[in-house]
Amino acid sequence: MLVTCSEMSEAERIFFSGDRSAEPWMDEAGRLCAAAILDFFPTEARAKVFCGRGNNGGDALVVARWLKRRGWQVEVILSDGVEGLAPLARKKFAEWEEEAHPPRCCTREGVEGLPLVLVDGLVGIGAKGELRGTLRDLAATMNAMRRKETGTTFAIDLPSGFDADFGVAGPDAVVADVTLAITTAKTGFVADGSENTVGRIVEIPLEIPLTSGDASRRCLFPSNLRPRLPRRAFDTHKGAAGRVVIMAGSKGLTGAAVLSALGASHGGAGLVTVCVPGEIYPIIAAKAPPEVMVRPYLDTSEIRGLAADVFAVGPGLGAALLPGIEEFLIEETRPLVIDADALNTLSRRSGGIPPFAGPRLLTPHPGEMARLTGGATAEGRASLAGRFAGDHGITLLLKGARTVIASPGRPLEFNTTGHPGMASGGMGDVLTGLCAALIGQGLDPHDAACLGSWLLGRAAELAKRDLGLAAESITAPLVADRIGSALLALQTPGTP
């Protein structure tokens, strides 16, 4: 569930009442935060760790110690000096000093060429109002270093100066690339526009029981996704691993069909068939993965006659759609993933969208969503997604930097993975194939959408990290190639 800062503070107060010491939990929080940072930066880097006076600063000091142990160049900056630290944070500073050899202040020597990591431990959930004085100056310094030196900022629990209840960033609030959400995410993390301050959200799973919160919304984390992963029996064969039929591509838009096929194939589908117009069949047949079957078609009746557990329809179909496509989208009883030009077909339908005959997953980007709903609306993304899904009895995956998944009777779920390099063509085509593959393996559309969006974002992160490329250079085929790595990461406990 999502919680407010006061709800989280109350849960901590109850948990630490009596004789339970907070120190082991600070040590564990700091260790897990450091592990998350090291997952994004597995080789040596330089870190500047900004510490406030309270528990958030204590967590950051534990992080500094773990990074130092991994051979990083680490500098600690204290907002109020050693004398200003709270007792437990002061103890963590003493432990840091015992291990900080050479001295804790980095020199220019030996750090040239190392990536810069900034750790925000200035204030935590107990802070109220805007940053002031030294805290505001240090936050502004962090933002300037992030901008001028292309640093990556990790915020512990929340970005300092950010209202984690309502999702509003105050003046000079820290801009985080990754927010390390201790125990659970806060309500403001999923507010519209908050992603530019919060960035990627990583769960730091401390087992502190929550006494209250909003169970109608949640963020997608490995802890709630891993139980939804399909587990294959040893005697599984390709016919039982999901038969995915993709209807995609048109003249000038051949890449969409290939990318959707890649998404389905890397997503674990047993059999993938791509159906394309006859005029582009030779192109797709030459470019498609070798394990994918390619078939030319003349009309939708040929598609309906195929053995399929799920259909994916829309990527690259173009504006000149064949007769019968509307009826196929509405009347087919088997599951459909509907994307791109197939969504536009629904939005142009006179009389609106009637009830669907079978399970549907619609995957619009904001422009397609506006067409489906008849134009721009002041309604928030989450509210719009929930209402539309409920009105039409479908699962909706509303794409964006914080993708929203909505289904009737299910919590609204928000994706946490990915990076701005995914703002390039073809990512949605890969996602369509990936979601279809997951449905073909037995997942319902909602869980397939949740897993698909998380895996795609994580695959993009791994492509950036493992290939050593700038985020801006990550392409859809590179992301498709890393879906297997993302799936393995999700299957492995401890992944961020």
- Structure confidence by residue, pLDDT tens digits, 134-174: 999 999 999 999 999 999 999 999 999 999 999 999 999 99
Residue 358 CB partners (closer than 8 Å, separation 6+): 332, 333, 334, 335, 336
Are 450 and 228 in contact by the 8 Å Cβ rule? The answer is: yes
Q: Is the torsion defined by CA of 80, 83, 88, 94 positive or negative?
A: positive
Residue 322 pLDDT more than 90?
no
Evaluate whether residue 222 is within a structural domain. Answer: no
Q: Which of 161, 190, 215 is the last residue of a domain?
A: 215
Split into its structural domains, the chain has a count of 2
Are 313 and 338 in contact by the 8 Å Cβ rule? The answer is: yes
Residue range 484-493: mean pLDDT, rounded: 96
Q: Which of 156, 182, 215 is the last residue of a domain?
A: 215
Evaluate whether residue 496 is within a structural domain. Answer: no
Tell me: do 251 and 197 sit in the same domain: no
Residue 100 pLDDT more than 90?
no
Q: Phi, psi at residue 276, to the nearest 5°?
A: -135, 155
Q: Is 22 helix (H, G, I), strand (E, B) or coil?
A: coil
Residue 99 pLDDT more than 90?
no
Tell me: do 22 and 59 sit in the same domain: yes
Tell me: do 211 and 232 sit in the same domain: no
Element (H, E) at 271: strand 271-277
* Strands (E) located in 298-384: 310-313, 336-338, 360-362
Residue 27 pLDDT more than 60?
yes
Residue 69 pLDDT more than 60?
yes
Residue range 211-217: mean pLDDT, rounded: 95
Of residues 100 and 433, the one with the higher pLDDT is 433
Element (H, E) at 351: none
CA distance 390 to 406: 8
What pLDDT sits at residue 101?
Answer: 63
What pLDDT sits at residue 351?
Answer: 83
Evaluate whether residue 221 is within a structural domain. Answer: no
Chain centroid to CA 62: 26
Closest to 448 measured CA to CA, from 307, 368, 335: 335
Residue 112 pLDDT more than 80?
no
Decide: residue 297, CB within 10 A, 0-12 exposed, 13-18 middle, 19+ buried: middle
CB neighbours (10 Å) of residue 195? Answer: 21
Instruction: Give the structural domain span for 276.
Output: 227-491
357, two tokens: 């005959």
pLDDT band at 272 (very low <50, low <70, confident <90, very high): very high
> What percentage of the chain exceeds 70 in pLDDT?
98
Paired with 310 in beta bridges are 244
pLDDT band at 115 (very low <50, low <70, confident <90, very high): very high
Q: Phi, psi at residue 179, to the nearest 5°?
A: -110, 125
What's the chain's average pLDDT? 95
Element (H, E) at 461: helix 445-467
pLDDT band at 104 (very low <50, low <70, confident <90, very high): very low
Tell me: do 139 and 283 sit in the same domain: no
CATH of the domain at 27: 3.40.50.10260
Residue 489 pLDDT more than 50?
yes
Residue 198 pLDDT more than 90?
yes
Closest to 315 measured CA to CA, from 345, 347, 348, 359: 345
- C-alpha angle with apex 277: 434 to 258, nearest 5 degrees? 30
Tell me: do 269 and 336 sit in the same domain: yes
Are 316 and 252 in contact by the 8 Å Cβ rule? The answer is: no
Evaluate whether residue 446 is within a structural domain. Answer: yes
Are 158 and 138 in contact by the 8 Å Cβ rule? The answer is: no
Closest to 423 measured CA to CA, from 220, 257, 195, 265: 195
- pTM higher than the cut 0.75: yes
Residue 494 pLDDT more than 90?
no
Closest to 203 measured CA to CA, from 464, 49, 417: 417
What pLDDT sits at residue 5?
Answer: 97
Tell me: do 198 and 272 sit in the same domain: no
Are 284 and 293 in contact by the 8 Å Cβ rule? The answer is: no
Tell me: do 81 and 27 sit in the same domain: yes
Evaluate whether residue 283 is within a structural domain. Answer: yes
Tell me: do 180 and 280 sit in the same domain: no
pLDDT band at 320 (very low <50, low <70, confident <90, very high): low
Residue range 221-228: mean pLDDT, rounded: 97
Residue 384 pLDDT more than 80?
yes
Name the one residue in this structure whose structure tokens are 């600690």. 76
Tell me: do 188 and 305 sit in the same domain: no
CA distance 323 to 333: 19
What pLDDT sits at residue 436?
Answer: 98
What pLDDT sits at residue 495?
Answer: 83
**Integer angstrom CA distances of residue 105 from 49, 95, 122, 304:** 11, 16, 18, 67
Q: Phi, psi at residue 155, to the nearest 5°?
A: -100, 130
Are 427 and 221 in contact by the 8 Å Cβ rule? The answer is: no
Name the one residue in this structure whose structure tokens are 């160049």. 73
Evaluate whether residue 164 is within a structural domain. Answer: yes
Q: Which of 215, 236, 270 is the last residue of a domain?
A: 215
CATH of the domain at 289: 3.40.1190.20
CA distance 491 to 175: 31
CB neighbours (10 Å) of residue 492? Answer: 10
What pLDDT sits at residue 244?
Answer: 98
> What percentage of the chain exceeds 90 in pLDDT?
90
Tell me: do 205 and 289 sit in the same domain: no
CB neighbours (10 Å) of residue 28? Answer: 17
Tell me: do 153 and 264 sit in the same domain: no
pLDDT band at 280 (very low <50, low <70, confident <90, very high): very high
Angle between helices 87-99 and 55-69 (to 10 degrees): 10
CB neighbours (10 Å) of residue 145? Answer: 15
Tell me: do 434 and 390 sit in the same domain: yes
Name the one residue in this structure whose structure tokens are 């016919």. 239
Evaluate whether residue 116 is within a structural domain. Answer: yes
Evaluate whether residue 467 is within a structural domain. Answer: yes
Closest to 37 measured CA to CA, from 165, 140, 176: 176
